[in-house]
Structure 1
Amino acid sequence: MELKLLLTVLLIRSATVAADYIRPPPRKALHLPWHSQPSSYPQQVHISLAGDQHMRVTWITDDNSAPSIVEYGTLPGKYGSVAEGETTSYSYVFYNSGKIHHAVIGPLEHDSVYYYRCGGQGPEFQLRTPPAQLPITFAVAGDLGQTEWTKSTLDHIDQCKYNVHLLPGDLAYADYIQHRWDSFGRLVQPLASARPWMVTQGNHEVESIPLLKDGFVSYNSRWKMPFKESGSNSNLFYSFEVAGAHIIMLGSYADYDEYSEQYRWLKENLSKVDRKRTPWLLVLFHVPWYNSNTAHQGEGADMMAAMEPLLNAASVDLVLAGHVHAYERSKRVYNGRVDPCGSVHITIGDGGNKEGLAHRYINPQPIWSEFREASFGHGELKIVNSTHAFWSWHRNDDDEPVKSDDIWITSLISSGCVDQKRNELRNKLMTP
């Protein structure tokens, strides 16, 4: 009797604490002044994975004649290797971009520090390559934008000892105003030049103008991902492998029905996954399929109907999405029902965007929904070994990262689900 009373008091107290949490007020957009530099000076430097033991370095110069080279080595100021890259640029109404450079460096040693310089001048940057084997840690934050809350999120991520940043869409919130892409590049450069940022597109990257401008011109020009390396014909969907994880980045705003190129590519990509080499299988896209927030309710339904059977047959462990400006974690779920062989779905569109938080949830809370809260923050995923990973979500609470949700996740390959579904996957992949 006393034990029951104690448990009841603790439950009431914990519920009261959660209900009494007062979120800090919204914060203003950041003002990032441009400091005058020579036109050939590299700016907006960021890196991304580009195939096995290779890294793509991207930067922008205002000088169209600036060389597209990256010098790099394992000692400060001593560059034993040089890689020559490619360049692009774009115009958007009255805006003309600088010269956008992409250079792939490597092969690089795993879990090693390299020093590099872009374009033969400017500051020296330092990066660390991911490990070859588990454990590995990912920082996760979507819908970043450029507000003071964004800066708080980035500061917290910088405190995390992570190897790769995963961003499920909505980067700069430029929304047609192209110089905001430049200010975003300067904002994230300290982090994005030091660890690879792997991103996919959101609705704020579309920026199409009917009859005048195709969609994703700015995004595709600035944030080139390893789509060719993964057999994709579009920068909007691709995959990569790092340590013991195979990670698929899908496009919520690219065609995804069963007759689309993305669907065909996904089937082929899944057929090549080797769960002995990469026991963990993760998928990211922008619009969540499982969402109990009133914001963007049902927007992912069509993509879910087309692609969830493929992901389920392949035993995807974890699905990460953004779009909804709040945090939510599901139980293992498939086809709307709790399923021990389904995926854990996490919505983490709470990086700090200018549109604010999505406060309203559907009640009662669905059975598949495990934890939900409308606060800005970021996630950390540490894959410890082939069977276990630790997920934690860190709320931005008055500029202090407060761990508000965490869970150990067991891989599906260790549960027997993968063997159970191999025939189902084979049948789905063989279907024209």
Structure 2
Amino acid sequence: MLVTWSTMHPLSPPMVPKVNYGVNPFYLKSTENATVDHFTYEFGEQWIYRAVLPNLQYKTTYYYQVGSPEGDFAYDLDTDNGQVGDEWLRAVQDITATKPYMVLAGNHEINGLQNFTHYRNRFTVPINNPYNDTQFYSFNLGPVHYTALSSEYVCLTFLYGEQLAINQYNWISQDLQQAKANRANQPWIIAGMHRPIYWPYPSSVSLDGDFVENYTMWILKDGNDKMPGLEKLFIDSEVDMLFAGHVHGYERNYPIANGTVYKDGPNPYHNAKAPIHITTGSAGNEEGQDTTDYNCPPSPSSAQRSLKFGYTLLHVYNATHMHMEQISVADNGEVIDDIWIIKD
């Protein structure tokens, strides 16, 4: 596990940022020093601290305290400069303190045109590509190979150029092919990115004339003459599931490849013939729900969709069974959709 926190001011030498931790909350006997990174942005500057806690025991509760001898603890930051990121990190602290919190960037992490400044500095992800780029990475956990990528690199080449998207494609191509060859160890392959390839309305429906959103659907799926699309890569690599957000709602699609929908049989997710695309963007935001998108007739691939605020849980049981649930916060935790993904 890796602990991350931030302060608005640097520590005064010789103070050293550290994490004290242990299984007894009254006796935090272990200590790890933290690394320090500094970044600036339009509202000011912050110092980000990261400490790795090694050799933790499985199914064991650890207590920890972060800071320095002069009392700079995590998350007690002033929000007068509009530090929404600090508010968010405080809100999810109960989750991030107990589970690895793996993130990927979307359009709201662009930070103006400052190249994802807060995303790059606030969060720590595996860097296992040759470009030292935190926008795309992968990791194995149990029977699953997870691949995270940036839809923004693909969709916003008019801001960032095409080379970043090409770098990502080349690396992810290799990563997914290796994952496909490694099915004996990780039989499931799950990919994630911010924008979905398949949206909650038919491709013939224009999103109120929004050129950018219509363009992103096409460019992610099919690419252009300078940059390959991603759908063929997911199909060829036999990706099992693809999770996305961006749309402020939930949608489960039937297995789909190149527009062909596979929904025959009592359970189309049993030995699915194509990747399963899930849009899980219903956690809530100040703009409200995407009623425009969801008032359109559903696309042919849509199996279930909902505007209720909630979240998605995926339970990976073994090499043959996964169970996905959509939980409605509006309905006090009711499961409003669930499927079994099964492979013989």
Structure 1 residues 317 and 370, CA, compared in 2 at 3 Å: closer, same or farther?
same
Structure 1 residues 108 and 62, CA, compared in 2 at 3 Å: closer, same or farther?
same
Q: Which amino acid aligns with 1:285?
A: M
Give deviations 1:59-115, integer Å, cap 9, x for gaps.
113441152222333333444543222111222224222x21011221333333222
Matched, 1:245 2:149: no
2:37 and 2:48 in contact (8 A); partners too? yes
Quote the Cα distance in structure 1 between the aligned partners of 2:122 and 2:219. 29
Quote the Cα distance in structure 1 between the aligned partners of 2:126 and 2:249. 29
Matched, 1:217 2:150: no
| Structure 2 residue ranges without an equivalent (≥5) | 156-161, 208-212, 223-228, 263-271
Structure 1 residues 362 and 186, CA, compared in 2 at 3 Å: closer, same or farther?
closer
Partner of 2:4: 58
Structure 1 residues 237 and 375, CA, compared in 2 at 3 Å: closer, same or farther?
same
**Displacement of 1:406 after TM fit?**
0.7
Partner of 2:325: 392
Q: CA RMSD in A?
A: 2.7
Q: Which amino acid aligns with 1:246?
A: H
Aligned match of 1:108 in 27, 38, 56? 56
Give deviations 1:352-397, integer Å, cap 9, x for gaps.
1011111233754332111112221111111111111111101222
Partner of 1:375: 308
Quote the Cα distance in structure 2 between the aligned partners of 1:348 and 1:409. 17
Quote the Cα distance in structure 2 between the aligned partners of 1:235 and 1:224. 8
SS in 2 for 1:226: coil
* Pairs within 5 Å for 1:173-192: 178-192=82-96
2:8 and 2:45 in contact (8 A); partners too? no
1:117 and 1:123 in contact (8 A); partners too? no
Quote the Cα distance in structure 2 between the aligned partners of 1:252 and 1:325. 16
Quote the Cα distance in structure 1 between the aligned partners of 2:215 and 2:325. 26
**Displacement of 1:304 after TM fit?**
2.0
Structure 1 residues 288 and 251, CA, compared in 2 at 3 Å: closer, same or farther?
same
* Pairs within 5 Å for 1:77-88: 77-88=26-37
* Pairs within 5 Å for 1:13-92: 55-65=1-11, 67-92=16-41
SS in 2 for 1:58: strand
TM-score normalised to structure 2 length: 0.79
1:291 and 1:297 in contact (8 A); partners too? no
Matched, 1:301 2:234: no
Matched, 1:410 2:314: no
Q: Which amino acid aligns with 2:242?
A: V
Partner of 1:34: none
SS in 2 for 1:300: helix
SS in 1 for 2:305: strand
SS in 2 for 1:272: helix
Partner of 1:286: 194
**Displacement of 1:183 after TM fit?**
1.6
Aligned length: 301
Matched, 1:277 2:185: yes
Quote the Cα distance in structure 2 between the aligned partners of 1:103 and 1:191. 17
Give deviations 1:2-29, integer Å, cap 9, x for gaps.
xxxxxxxxxxxxxxxxxxxxxxxxxxxx
SS in 1 for 2:102: strand
Q: Which amino acid aligns with 2:221?
A: M
1:282 and 1:319 in contact (8 A); partners too? yes
Structure 1 residues 372 and 297, CA, compared in 2 at 3 Å: closer, same or farther?
farther
Give the stretch that moved more between structures: 218-227 or 360-369. 360-369
Q: Which amino acid aligns with 1:383?
A: V
Quote the Cα distance in structure 1 between the aligned partners of 2:122 and 2:190. 24
Quote the Cα distance in structure 1 between the aligned partners of 2:236 and 2:152. 23
Structure 1 residues 63 and 56, CA, compared in 2 at 3 Å: closer, same or farther?
same
TM-score normalised to structure 1 length: 0.64
Give deviations 1:213-259, integer Å, cap 9, x for gaps.
x220111111121124x656211111111111111111011248797
Quote the Cα distance in structure 2 between the aligned partners of 1:300 and 1:56. 35
Partner of 2:210: none
Q: Which amino acid aligns with 1:292?
A: P
Structure 1 residues 111 and 242, CA, compared in 2 at 3 Å: closer, same or farther?
farther
SS in 2 for 1:299: helix
Structure 1 residues 123 and 206, CA, compared in 2 at 3 Å: closer, same or farther?
closer
Quote the Cα distance in structure 2 between the aligned partners of 1:217 and 1:393. 32
* Pairs within 5 Å for 1:115-130: 115-120=63-68
1:247 and 1:283 in contact (8 A); partners too? yes
2:154 and 2:219 in contact (8 A); partners too? no
SS in 1 for 2:152: coil
